[in-house]
Structure 1
Amino acid sequence: MNNHIANISDKIIDELCNQVIDYFDKSPFFELSNIPPFQGAGIYALYIKPSSKTLYKDVLPAMYPIYIGKAVPAGSRQGVKSGVTKGSPLRARLTKHLSSIEQANNLDASDFLCRFIVLEGKSSDFISAFESIFIKKYNTLWNSHIDGFGINAPGSGRYNQSPSEWDTLHPGRYYASQLTGSPRDLRQIMQKIVNYKPK
């Protein structure tokens, strides 16, 4: 069976990932509610300002990401040739998150910052892999512990599901109130936050 195991050096992988992480960690912060126009696909992270008075104030270290996500170029899943991404899928994804936060009745969009990097050419083929690596590195709360922040509105005929953990914590998204499934246990979700340990 050993001839089925790809002998790729961990050192080579680590060197590549560390370059991306280092570049990301040096990228500037922007107010989530005031993102400049830009094009491209890539990786992003959301942060809550240390001065905010959310329920995460004593849980997250200062300027520690609460959520990490990605936006891939159109056609990437169909094997479209790598190149310069047309349009603004990364900015559109951030704008969608801004809308979710603005709809929540116990969050303030002015408390949120973001940072991002655009990946072009062959590096854009690794966007999904880099997202996974970043989530593992930071053990981000809204990715690995509280589900539902990045979900889309349910399709027709699928409103019989329960609201997500995120929508239970932060009610207000227009479609969440229309879901007819059993409500989540808020105490259990809050306990997840209490038990959370950043890496």
Structure 2
Amino acid sequence: MVEPYDPLSYDNLARSVVGALIERAVGPLPPRTPFAGPGVYAIYYSGGFAAYASISSPDCTQPIYVGKADPPGGRKGVLVEEAMRAQKLYSRLREHAGSVRDAANLDVADFRCRYLVVQPVWIRLAEQFLVSHFRPIWNCVIDGFGSHVPGIGRPGTKSSAWDVLHPRESRALVGDVDEERRKILGTLRDFLTEA
């Protein structure tokens, strides 16, 4: 029996979201012009950080990170029309650009992005599709980029892998940073070898 086509199957929805994002133009991080709406995005790196050489993507085919920006008030019953007017996705990309600027060993000029404004009901699923499809290293191996975790950056709080590799003046690193960096780079090498 021939399997009937189901446009709403997980795989077909995933292809649809990935395809729609990839069709978007690539631009600077952050975008130059503010825009409204929540959605998903991909960030690309083309710089010279040695550990990222194999995923450095001047042609913007392999994202270093994908993410989402949820609309405001989702748990409070804010109307979709109202949520779509907020600049949540634009603001999220600006936050990421700020994190990169704060890093001692990264240059925001080496980063580009694509973004897709998405109806709120699809955002979480879209992000899951993108992570599963691209397996970006800042999502899958080097955690801490884009985190909104309470306590991060406070004295005594364990440093994220991202902060260990990309230290910032605003965050004190905790523990044996050199040993932690070696472990993270080893895990990254293993991940990239398996990919």
**TM-score, normalization by structure 2:** 0.83
Structure-2 residue corresponding to 1:172: 168
Matched, 1:26 2:19: no
CA–CA distance in structure 1, aligned partners of residues 152 and 99 of structure 2: 20
Matched, 1:82 2:75: no
Corresponding residue pairs, total: 183
Which AA in structure 2 matches 1:131? E
SS at match of 1:17: helix
Encode CA deviations 1:160-191: one digit per residue, 9 max, x unaligned: 211111000000151x21x6x43451100111
SS at match of 2:64: strand
Deviation at 1:75, TM superposition (A): 1.3
Which consecutive unaligned segments of at least 5 residues does structure 1 have?
A: 1-8
Which AA in structure 2 matches 1:182? G
CA distance 1:79–1:144, shift in 2 (3 Å): farther
Sequence identity of aligned pairs in percent?
32
Matched, 1:143 2:116: no
Encode CA deviations 1:76-121: one digit per residue, 9 max, x unaligned: 13343433512201011011111110011100110000100001xx
Which AA in structure 2 matches 1:169? L
Matched, 1:130 2:131: no
Structure-1 residue corresponding to 2:175: 182
CA–CA distance in structure 2, aligned partners of residues 127 and 53 of structure 1: 32
SS at match of 2:81: coil
**TM-score, normalization by structure 1:** 0.81
CA distance 1:97–1:183, shift in 2 (3 Å): farther
Structure-1 residue corresponding to 2:69: 71
CA distance 1:80–1:160, shift in 2 (3 Å): same
CA–CA distance in structure 1, aligned partners of residues 64 and 153 of structure 2: 32
Which AA in structure 1 matches 2:80? S
Query: How does 1:6-45 map onto structure 2 within 5 Å?
Result: 12-45=9-42
CA distance 1:79–1:14, shift in 2 (3 Å): farther
Deviation at 1:12, TM superposition (A): 2.6
Deviation at 1:157, TM superposition (A): 10
CA distance 1:61–1:170, shift in 2 (3 Å): closer
Deviation at 1:59, TM superposition (A): 2.1
The answer (yes or no) to whether the contact 2:151–2:157 under 8 Å persists in 1 is: no
CA–CA distance in structure 2, aligned partners of residues 102 and 194 of structure 1: 25
The answer (yes or no) to whether the contact 1:162–1:183 under 8 Å persists in 2 is: no
Structure-2 residue corresponding to 1:97: 96
The answer (yes or no) to whether the contact 1:42–1:116 under 8 Å persists in 2 is: yes
SS at match of 1:27: coil
CA distance 1:158–1:103, shift in 2 (3 Å): closer
Which consecutive unaligned segments of at least 5 residues does structure 2 have?
A: 1-5
SS at match of 1:196: helix
